[in-house]
Structure 1
Amino acid sequence: MLRTLDIRDMLIIDHLELAFQPGLNVLTGETGAGKSILLDSLGFVLGWRGRAELVRAGAKQGEVVAEFDLPPGHAAFAVLEEAGLPVTDELILRRVNTAEGRKTAWVNDRRCSGEVLRQLSETLVELHGQHDDRGLLNPRGHRRILDAFAGVEAELAATRGAWKALSQARKALTGAETALAAMREEEDFLRHAVGELDALSPQPGEDAELDAKRRMMQQSERIREDIQRAGQALGNDGAEGAMGDAMRWLDGVADRAEGRLDAPLAALGRAMEELDQAARGVEETLEALAFNPHELEEAEERLFAIRGLARKHQVTSEELPDLAETLSAKLARLDAGDAGIADLRKAATEAEASYDAAADALSRARQTAALRLDAAVTAELAPLKMERAVFATRITEDPAGPEGRDAVAFTVATNRGAPAGPIGKIASGGELSRFLLALKVCLAEGNSGVTLIFDEIDRGVGGATADAVGRRLAALAAEGQVLVVTHSPQVAALGAHHWRVEKRVAAEQTLSSVVPLDAGDRVDEIARMVAGDTVTDEARAAARALLAG
């Protein structure tokens, strides 16, 4: 519910503070008094697109503050949470427009964008008038209106879920088919490459191992001769034999040398041990250097094959085993592709069947609700002096989507037997207003927590028809809040709260003000609406009669 509206320096308003109430709030006044300015100001703070220049002449900036009370579970809470704004049962919107045209907005004292204001406004206020293009004149909104009347939230949720599942299944199938087609284009390459890699079977670290082995074999031919000579020099024909002879000769005379040869003999023994260790090391080295000449050739051929295959695939030798695994897996997917595609096609078919079932259930619910809506609107049209009009909801097939496959359009024939057509093209301004009002009465249950604003919806009607319009506005306001700008005394008399919009001149400036009316003032204002500029006793009597109901 809109609780207060505070306007400063907007157009011809210097400062205006209005405290609205639940029920039917009526604003009246002479043409040009500034009633539309109130709506422009409210639209400004709600982020609606409107006049470009709103700041009062001579002021640095204009400002509008709107305060709303939100009942538990109000749709605005979701918008606030999504935008990261404070969530309380009191919602304060503030927007400033500088003389240079710069606009700044706050929600509960937090800066926000105009888009957030517009999202909030959709949950807070509905504005309707003879040129209403936010709902009734816009065919794209007719399905939403029908769904609100039908109460098909569960069917809509099921259809949206089924559409999402179908979209995902189709996307998965298309992606798999595209990938399989791409793999088929390189099937020959894959099979040849995997065959080559499997035949060679490169192992991790094999390049480095082969390179080291190859270098060793290449070097062995050059160093083997010197190592052999060294081995001979250390053997029996060399140092080992000479040292053995020396030890035998010395050992044979040691007992006659008075112990002088004990130390030399011990040293020769140690030397013989070291010499034997050196000879064994040389021998082992010779054994290690011994190789079949074909081994070098084989090692070089395999090393060159590995490196050549790596260059061919533009990877390093170390990456060849991973490449072999990747290409083999790709080839396996290709070979299993048809089976996978069959599974995905089956899943897509099942998802399509689920969507068809959900969309069909939603369509049936809409068809049933359309008949009820047509009957309900027809019942409301008779008291509005449109008993000969025919309202019909036309449902045709639309491309499938998340909200089903139904296109909904409201059609009317203003006289029985006349051809029906789109409501925006067939109905006149006054008729359109009454169609709109009849629809809103039928949809009243879906407007919980939304302030309804009707801008001169009663234009072009009078007498009993205007009274019927007023009574339906009062019925709409019984469980909520309705603001109506009206020139009809019958409508004004049914208001629970009444304000008069008037102009005044101060310091050679024309300013607009809004005055709350008490019981006596209401009589005078409604009498003015009945009689015009000259208010007579008869007009006041008529006003009292209207107020008495």
Structure 2
Amino acid sequence: MLRALDIRNILIIDHLDLAFQPGLNVLTGETGAGKSILLDSLGFVLGWRGRAELVRQGADQGEVTAVFDLPEGHGAREVLEEAGLPLSDELILRRVNTLDGRKTAWVNDRRCSGEVLRRLSDTLVELHGQQDDRGLLDPRGHRVLLDAYGRLDGLKSDTRSAWRGVAAAQKALSAAEAALESVRAEEDFLRHAVAELDALDPQPGEDEALDTRRRLMQQGERICEDIARAQAALGQDGAEGAAGDALRWLEGVAPRAEAQLDAPIAALGRAMVELDEAAQGVARCLEALTFDPLELEETEERLFAIRALARKHGVGADDLGDFAGDLRARLASLDQGDADLETLRQSLRAAEETYDAAATALSAARAKAAAALDSAMRDELAPLKMERAAFTTAIAAADPGPEGRDSVTFTVATNPGAPAGPLNKIASGGELSRFLLALKVCLTGTESGLTMIFDEIDRGVGGATADAVGRRLAQLADGGQVLVVTHSPQVAARGAHHWRVEKTVADESTLSRVTPLAQDARIDEIARMLSGDRITDEARAAAEALMAG
């Protein structure tokens, strides 16, 4: 609920401090007195796009502050939380406009953007008037209004969930089809490459082992002769035999040498062991270097084949095994692809059936809600002297989406037999006002926490019709808050709170003033609205009768 509005240096307002109340708040005054400026000021602090130049002549800046009550569960609380702004039971909006056009806004004394203000305004205030294209006259919002009227949140949630399921299934199928198509495009390559790799069957580390063996065989012919000489020099006809002879000779004379030969004999024994190990190592080397020329040819052929295959596929020789595994997996996916695609198609069909059932249920519920809304509108239009008019909630097929597959448009026919059409194109000014009011009365039970503003919605009607408009506005304000700018005494008489807007000229300066009216002043104001500038006793009596009725 809007509790207070403080306006400083905006257009022809120097300073106004207004305290609003629950119920029906009425603003009256002569044309041009500044009633629209109040709405411009409220729209400014709420971030609405409006006049570019708002600062009062002679002032450096204009400023508007609005104070709202925020009960628990109010939609503005979620916006504040998402924006990281302070939360409390009181919401204070303040916005400043400087002469150079700069606009700065605060929410609960924290700087914020105009976008945050506009998001907050959607939860705080709803404006209705003959130029309204944000609310009831905008066909893009009619489906949302119908769904709210029918309390279809549960069915809409089911439909959104089913739509997400269809989208996920379609995405999975498309990805699988694209992957399979990619694999199919290289099927011949995959089968040839896997066959080639399987035939060669390269093993990790094999490249290095083959290369080492090849180099040994290549070097064998050049070094074997010297190694054989060394083997002969170390054997029985060489060092080993000579050392053995020496050892036998020394051992034969050692007992007569008084232990002088013990150390040499021991050293010679160790040397015999080392000579034996050396001889065995040389023998093993000769054996390893001894090769069949065919083996060298086969080793080279396999080594070159592995390296050629590695270059062909752009991988390391030791990575050929893993590369072959990847190719086999891609071939397996190709062979399994058709079966997988059929499984995914079945999943998509199941998701589509779930969506179809949810969307069908939602469509049926919308049709039922539309019939109920049309009936409620007939009941509301009759007291507004439009019993011959017809209101129809038209539901047509639309492209499937997360909100179902229906388009919703509120249409009217003002006279029997006349063609139906959109609200803002068929109804005249007075008729449009009454259609909007009736529709708002029907829909208001689905909303909470909004301050509703009606800007001269009673224009073009009078007498009993204006009285019916006033009664409907009072009904709408029951338990909530409605602000109405009106020229109709019948509407003004239904107000729970009344302000008069008037323009004064002093010292060549024009200012707009807003005065709260007590009971006697209200009678005079309504009498003025009935009779003009000259207020008669008859006009006062008529005003009293209106207020009493």
Question: Same fold judged by TM-score > 0.5?
Answer: yes
- Structure 1 counterpart of 2:172: 172
Q: Distance in 2 between matches of 1:97 and 1:351?
A: 53
Q: Distance in 1 between matches of 2:148 and 2:475?
A: 19
Task: Name the amino acid aligned to 1:47.
Answer: G
For the residue of structure 1 that corresponds to 2:377, the secondary structure is helix
- Structure 1 counterpart of 2:388: 388
Note the 1:324-339 alignment, pairs <5 A: 324-339=324-339
For the residue of structure 2 that corresponds to 1:443, the secondary structure is helix
Counting matched residue pairs gives 549
Q: Any conservation in 2 of the 1:164–1:402 contact (CA below 8 Å)?
A: yes
Deviation at 1:522, TM superposition (A): 1.1
Q: Any conservation in 2 of the 1:131–1:429 contact (CA below 8 Å)?
A: no
- Structure 2 counterpart of 1:200: 200
Q: Distance in 1 between matches of 2:252 and 2:398?
A: 123
Deviation at 1:213, TM superposition (A): 3.3
Cα displacement string for residues 269-315 of structure 1 (whole angstroms, at most 9, x for unaligned residues): 33223222322232233334344443433333222222212221222
Deviation at 1:383, TM superposition (A): 0.9
- Structure 2 counterpart of 1:47: 47
For the residue of structure 2 that corresponds to 1:365, the secondary structure is helix
Deviation at 1:260, TM superposition (A): 4.9
For the residue of structure 2 that corresponds to 1:47, the secondary structure is coil
- Structure 2 counterpart of 1:298: 298
For the residue of structure 2 that corresponds to 1:388, the secondary structure is coil
Q: Distance in 1 between matches of 2:204 and 2:117?
A: 63
Note the 1:18-57 alignment, pairs <5 A: 18-57=18-57
Q: 1:196 to 1:129 in 2, by over 3 A?
A: same
Question: Sequence identity, in percent?
Answer: 73
Deviation at 1:434, TM superposition (A): 0.3
- Structure 2 counterpart of 1:357: 357
Q: 1:371 to 1:202 in 2, by over 3 A?
A: same
Q: Distance in 2 between matches of 1:506 and 1:307?
A: 102
Q: Any conservation in 2 of the 1:393–1:411 contact (CA below 8 Å)?
A: yes
- TM-score if structure 1 supplies the norm length? 0.95
Q: 1:259 to 1:205 in 2, by over 3 A?
A: closer
Q: 1:13 to 1:201 in 2, by over 3 A?
A: farther
Q: 1:434 to 1:228 in 2, by over 3 A?
A: same
- Structure 1 counterpart of 2:438: 438
Q: Distance in 1 between matches of 2:11 and 2:296?
A: 98
Q: Distance in 1 between matches of 2:317 and 2:37?
A: 79
Task: Name the amino acid aligned to 2:401.
Answer: G
Q: Distance in 1 between matches of 2:50 and 2:58?
A: 21
Q: Distance in 1 between matches of 2:90 and 2:203?
A: 71
- Structure 2 counterpart of 1:309: 309
- Structure 1 counterpart of 2:447: 447
- Structure 1 counterpart of 2:218: 218
- Structure 2 counterpart of 1:118: 118
Cα displacement string for residues 28-56 of structure 1 (whole angstroms, at most 9, x for unaligned residues): 11111111111111111212111112222
- TM-score if structure 2 supplies the norm length? 0.95
Q: 1:393 to 1:224 in 2, by over 3 A?
A: same
- Structure 2 counterpart of 1:130: 130
Q: Any conservation in 2 of the 1:234–1:279 contact (CA below 8 Å)?
A: yes
Q: 1:371 to 1:265 in 2, by over 3 A?
A: closer
Q: 1:431 to 1:189 in 2, by over 3 A?
A: same
Note the 1:44-123 alignment, pairs <5 A: 44-123=44-123
Q: Any conservation in 2 of the 1:155–1:362 contact (CA below 8 Å)?
A: yes
Cα displacement string for residues 232-286 of structure 1 (whole angstroms, at most 9, x for unaligned residues): 1111111112222333344444555565544443433332232223222322333
Alignment root-mean-square deviation, CA: 1.9
- Structure 1 counterpart of 2:342: 342
Q: Distance in 1 between matches of 2:402 and 2:260?
A: 114
Q: Distance in 2 between matches of 1:58 and 1:286?
A: 113
Q: Any conservation in 1 of the 2:67–2:90 contact (CA below 8 Å)?
A: yes
- Structure 1 counterpart of 2:426: 426
Q: Any conservation in 1 of the 2:150–2:369 contact (CA below 8 Å)?
A: yes
Q: Any conservation in 1 of the 2:127–2:135 contact (CA below 8 Å)?
A: no
For the residue of structure 2 that corresponds to 1:415, the secondary structure is coil
Q: Distance in 2 between matches of 1:267 and 1:447?
A: 111
Q: 1:212 to 1:93 in 2, by over 3 A?
A: farther
Task: Name the amino acid aligned to 2:152.
Answer: V
Q: 1:348 to 1:261 in 2, by over 3 A?
A: closer
Task: Name the amino acid aligned to 2:183.
Answer: M
- Structure 2 counterpart of 1:410: 410
Q: 1:35 to 1:217 in 2, by over 3 A?
A: farther
Q: 1:194 to 1:6 in 2, by over 3 A?
A: farther
- Structure 1 counterpart of 2:470: 470
Q: 509-518 vs 335-344, which deviates more? A: 509-518
Task: Name the amino acid aligned to 1:271.
Answer: A
Q: Distance in 2 between matches of 1:51 and 1:331?
A: 68
Q: Distance in 2 between matches of 1:537 and 1:528?
A: 11
Q: Distance in 1 between matches of 2:174 and 2:411?
A: 41
For the residue of structure 1 that corresponds to 2:21, the secondary structure is coil
List gaps (5 residues or longer) in structure 2: none
Q: 125-134 vs 279-288, which deviates more? A: 279-288
List gaps (5 residues or longer) in structure 1: none
Q: 455-464 vs 301-310, which deviates more? A: 301-310
Q: Distance in 1 between matches of 2:221 and 2:139?
A: 94
Q: 254-263 vs 48-57, which deviates more? A: 254-263
Q: Distance in 2 between matches of 1:400 and 1:93?
A: 40
Q: Any conservation in 1 of the 2:126–2:451 contact (CA below 8 Å)?
A: yes
Note the 1:464-503 alignment, pairs <5 A: 464-503=464-503
Q: 289-298 vs 27-36, which deviates more? A: 289-298
Q: 1:84 to 1:211 in 2, by over 3 A?
A: farther
Deviation at 1:60, TM superposition (A): 2.6
Q: 1:110 to 1:311 in 2, by over 3 A?
A: farther
For the residue of structure 1 that corresponds to 2:348, the secondary structure is helix
Task: Name the amino acid aligned to 2:165.
Answer: A
Q: 1:542 to 1:276 in 2, by over 3 A?
A: same
Deviation at 1:507, TM superposition (A): 4.7
- Structure 1 counterpart of 2:273: 273
Deviation at 1:445, TM superposition (A): 0.6
Q: 1:282 to 1:37 in 2, by over 3 A?
A: same
Q: 1:377 to 1:255 in 2, by over 3 A?
A: closer
Q: Distance in 2 between matches of 1:259 and 1:162?
A: 105
Residue 401, structure 1, aligned to residue 401, structure 2:
yes
Q: 1:95 to 1:315 in 2, by over 3 A?
A: farther
Q: Any conservation in 2 of the 1:430–1:461 contact (CA below 8 Å)?
A: yes
Q: 81-90 vs 416-425, which deviates more? A: 81-90
For the residue of structure 1 that corresponds to 2:510, the secondary structure is strand
- Structure 2 counterpart of 1:282: 282
Q: 1:318 to 1:20 in 2, by over 3 A?
A: farther
Task: Name the amino acid aligned to 2:546.
Answer: L
Q: Any conservation in 1 of the 2:8–2:15 contact (CA below 8 Å)?
A: yes
Q: Distance in 2 between matches of 1:185 and 1:20?
A: 73
Q: 1:197 to 1:85 in 2, by over 3 A?
A: farther
Deviation at 1:366, TM superposition (A): 1.1
Cα displacement string for residues 494-548 of structure 1 (whole angstroms, at most 9, x for unaligned residues): 1111111122335533222211111122122112211222222222222222222
- Structure 2 counterpart of 1:209: 209
Task: Name the amino acid aligned to 1:152.
Answer: L
Note the 1:507-526 alignment, pairs <5 A: 507-526=507-526
Q: 1:203 to 1:5 in 2, by over 3 A?
A: farther
Q: 207-216 vs 46-55, which deviates more? A: 207-216
